[in-house]
Structure 1
Amino acid sequence: MDHMGMPDASGSRELLPALAEHPGHLFWRAAARVNVALSEALPPTVDVHAYAALLALAGGAERSQQAIAESISISRTTMVKVAASLSDQGLVTRVRNPNDRRSYALARTPEGAAAARRWRRHIEDLEDAITAGFTLEEREDLSRMLVRVAGPELAPDTPAPLLDSLGFLITRVHFRLHREFAEILEPIGIEPRHVGCLTALDASGPIPQAQLARILGVSGASVVQMVDDLERRGLVERRRLATDRRTQVLHLLPAATDVAGEARRLSGTVLDDRLGPLSAAERKRLTGYLVRFVTAP
């Protein structure tokens, strides 16, 4: 589960009703929860990317780093670090690439196979932790829908255990949505994270920065950066309370109305395309599952 483009989450379970209606925000928050769970649930000896790479080398496969990266949906930069770590630990060995004798491929060692079996228990415990409160039928239903939504992003040879991993699938869908949202919003000068910020302020009215951070589930530092961006764009203004000069309250400026409306329209086209494989009933179930995933204690 590559961390590129992932939100900086504080672990807040608060979810504003206006944001609960937006699958883009829900995937952003769900991916954040997966990241938090990764850091809290996995022991230091378990690297989720290394585990995925070892899965891609099962059955005696010899594969290039690029092929492995594509199979498990991580960046080349991350794959280079993973390969070096696995090699240093003796879990993979470098062999001549059968498709290009001038380069090398990776092969799993017996120690690597043992590590994959050992780490799998921790990964399964992580999956159980992030889906506590879901029945087996609900987990399978959510997994099937995510596979269909993530389909264009998944390599044909994605290891089966990853296709069964809700954490992996959620982060894949989020990564694709984030990239497409960023591209379509660029002409109006805002980023995907700003849309949730504008939506929250429109729904809640003027609020302090700390409250906005809780609503969005991000750190205080992250919300300061977002508000700085929106202030420069002329969409938000900080005003000190007359009764408490130490507290700054955030106010939407008139220009925010048109920008937020256009952002929602553009984002909607991305969602309609990305969630196109799902029926209306399935989209409703997916949204409900994501709300439960984000707000579960």
Structure 2
Amino acid sequence: MREGPQSRDFVVLDTLAEQDGCSQQDLAERLGINRTIMVRLIDRLEEAGHVTRTRNPANRRSYVLTLTAAGREARDAMRQAVSDRDARVTAALTPDERRRLDELLGKMLPEPEQPAVQSTEYLVTQAHHRLRRHGDALLGPAGLRTRHFGPLSALELLAPCPQQELARYLAITEPSAAQVVDELVQAGLVARGQDPHDRRRYALELTALGRERLTSVRAAMESIAAEVLTILGGGPERELRALLLKLISPRA
């Protein structure tokens, strides 16, 4: 699930409306946004006239952010768009289920007692980012990323299979599948061979190294699952899993 084009802009403006004058670093930490991404985001908002950024008098190496009048107007205009997207994203859930999902996701973010943002779309995305960063840190020494788990696991089950079949299985676009497959081929983890059913197409298979590295990827995924279990506890973790599965299940 990806954030809408205004989602991060909105949550930054909305948070500044409640906590004006905070530092750029504090805002990034509170919202769980990578600092580099936050710098680019604030650059864009400053250029649009929605925030001002001045040196922090208490720490000249940091900036203090202030919401402008134009920023408040933009925040109000974005609120309905964010609300509409949330309604579409959570259409499969009852109101009580949506509230419970937001509550559980909020616990996955910094300051779980008082989530800064009430957008389900944003909470899902930020929880995903947090867990992905954890997995990436574990897999980085092996030259892998969390995003490689799905394709490697799928190919263990499906191979040999064409790239189009892999994309359908993972429910991603063919260009996205092509990008991640290229990464895995370059790393020597996946090989492109002839499709035995159609010689005009490639068939993808795991290499011996790919099968070996899949063990490391699975260990990282288990570590992520353990982190979620530690944060939420067994019952809430199962509840969150069920709600997310309901969220992404195809609707009739």
- Taking structure 1 as the reference length, what is the TM-score of the superposition? 0.72
User: 1:1-297, aligned counterparts within 5 Å?
Assistant: 33-35=1-3, 38-39=4-5, 47-58=6-17, 61-93=20-52, 97=56, 99-100=58-59, 105-150=64-109, 154-155=110-111, 160=116, 162=117, 164-297=118-251
In angstroms, what is the RMSD of aligned CA positions?
Answer: 2.9
Compute the displacement of 1:232 (Å): 4.1
Aligned AA for 1:107?
T
- Offset at residue 268 of structure 1 (A): 0.4
Whole-angstrom distance in 1 between the partners of 2:232 and 2:19: 37
TM-superposed deviation, 1:254: 4.1
Question: What is the identity percentage for the equivalent residue pairs of Structure 1 and Structure 2?
Answer: 33
Q: Is the 8 A contact 1:90 1:109 kept in 2?
A: yes
Contact 2:159/2:203, CA 8 A, preserved across alignment: no
Structure 2 SS opposite 1:107: strand
Q: What is the deviation of 1:125?
A: 1.0
Shift of 1:155: 4.8
List alignment gaps of at least 5 residues for structure 1.
Answer: 1-32, 40-46
**Structure 1 pair 217–60 and aligned structure 2 pair: CA distance change class (3 A):** closer
The structure-2 alpha-carbon separation of the partners of 1:257 and 1:70, relative to structure 1 and needing over 3 Å to count, comes to closer
- Cα deviation, 1:251-288, whole Å, max 9, x if unaligned, reads 23344444323421232023202331223332222222
Structure 1 pair 169–113 and aligned structure 2 pair: CA distance change class (3 A): same
For residue 152 of structure 2, what is the amino acid of its counterpart? L
Conserved? CA contact 1:63–1:97, under 8 Å: no
User: How far did 1:243 drift?
Assistant: 4.8
CA distance in 2, matches of 1:261, 1:60: 45
Which stretches in structure 2 are left out of the alignment for 5+ residues? none
Which amino acid in 2 is paired with 1:137?
D
What amino acid sits opposite 1:113 in the alignment?
R
